[in-house]
Amino acid sequence: MKHLHLAKVAILLWLFTMITLGYFFYFGNTTKSLDTRTAIRLTPAERQLVLTEMRALLEALNGILAGLGENDYEKAAKSADAVGMGLVASLEHQEKTILLKLPVSFKKLGFGTHEKFDEIATKIRKKEEIHTLLKDMDELTKNCVACHAGYKIELETEAK
């Protein structure tokens, strides 16, 4: 009888742990900020990594536009490649702890953005029509706008 009680407690603890992990995987370490965006709470090092990655995305956008403007398709493609899914793979070790703190919607937006850079690099190398590339760039920058309109990165130590 005592073993049955211990088994029930163990199952309840396991369920509680799984629900808690599921909650953090889905919602991350977030709160609502005063400006109604979702505040993602990170350590100073994690925050710096995310902001550095965002600056790299902006630099890549600039590199793509500069390359296309100069009719230098390889320069444009290399700029897009630099922040595609290869970048995500290279940062995988550093980002493991951050991924649990990010809400699923932010992760989808981020991974979708990196994948879009890869798609654009492929289209640039195929020298697709400039209007097609501009449409893809429009879709890509909508991700940037959605991210910055919906989220902000705060330090875990900041007051809620």
Tokens of 107: 């992760």
Model confidence at 143: pLDDT above 90: yes
Determine the 3-state secondary structure of 151 from DSSP: strand
Q: Which residues contact 138 (CB under 8 A, 6 or more apart)?
A: none
Does residue 160 fall inside a structural domain?
no
Domain containing residue 111? 38-155
Residues 42 and 5 in one domain: no
Residues 26 and 89 in one domain: no
pLDDT value at residue 97 = 79
Residues 68 and 114 in one domain: yes
Domain count, the chain: 2
Residues 24 and 100 in one domain: no
Q: DSSP secondary-structure letter at 35?
A: T
- Measured CA angle at 55 (ends 52, 63), to 5 deg: 135
Q: pTM to 2 decimals?
A: 0.80
At 94-139, the pLDDT tens digits run 777 788 889 999 999 999 999 999 999 999 999 999 999 999 999 9
Tell me, what amino acid is at 48? Answer: Q
At 45-87, the pLDDT tens digits run 999 999 999 999 999 999 999 999 999 999 999 999 999 999 9
- Count of CB atoms situated within 10 Å of the CB of 144: 15
Residues 105 and 139 in one domain: yes
At 33-46, the pLDDT tens digits run 889 999 999 999 99
Q: Across the chain, what does the average pLDDT equal?
A: 87
